[in-house]
Amino acid sequence: MILSVVLYGFLFATLLAALFHLWRDGGLGKLIIYLLASWTGFWLGQLAANKLNLHMMDLGELHLGPALLGSIIFLFLGHWFSQIGKPA
């Protein structure tokens, strides 16, 4: 991967995590969880798209479709796991 793919990938994943954080109204700890979840999901989606040869919403070598989908899935999973143990 070239440097621009990595930079754009982290930019998109960070923006998505920040928007999710604003939507779900969390504190600093939640922001860190959302950033890590978004980055992980984004790069796993990118790797899966490379391995499966998926081409959806490509931006050069960056497969935005599967990467953003992976990021969104991991954001919801991260939010769900952060709620475990809290009283209703």
Closest CA to 13 of 64, 52, 79, 59: 64
Question: What is the residue-wise DSSP string for 67-88?
Answer: HHHHHHHHHHHHHHHHTTT---
- Which range marks the domain in which residue 31 is found? 3-82
Domain assignment present for 88: no
Quick one: CA torsion of 76, 82, 44, 55, rounded to 10 degrees? Answer: 10
Task: Considering only residues 59 and 44, tell me which one the structure prediction assigns the higher pLDDT.
Answer: 44
Q: What pLDDT score does 75 carry?
A: 96
* Cα–Cα–Cα angle for 7, 32, 72, rounded to 5 degrees: 65
Q: What pLDDT score does 44 carry?
A: 97
Least confident of 1-5, 63-67, 74-78: 1-5
* Model confidence pTM above 0.75: yes
Mean pLDDT of 60-70: 94
Residues in Cβ contact with 22 at an 8 Å cutoff, skipping those fewer than 6 apart: none
Domain assignment present for 87: no
Flag whether pLDDT at 88 surpasses 70: no
Structure tokens at 20: 């999710």
| Beta pairing partners, 59 | 62
Share of the chain above pLDDT 70, in %: 98
Domain assignment present for 73: yes
The total number of structural domains that make up the chain: 1
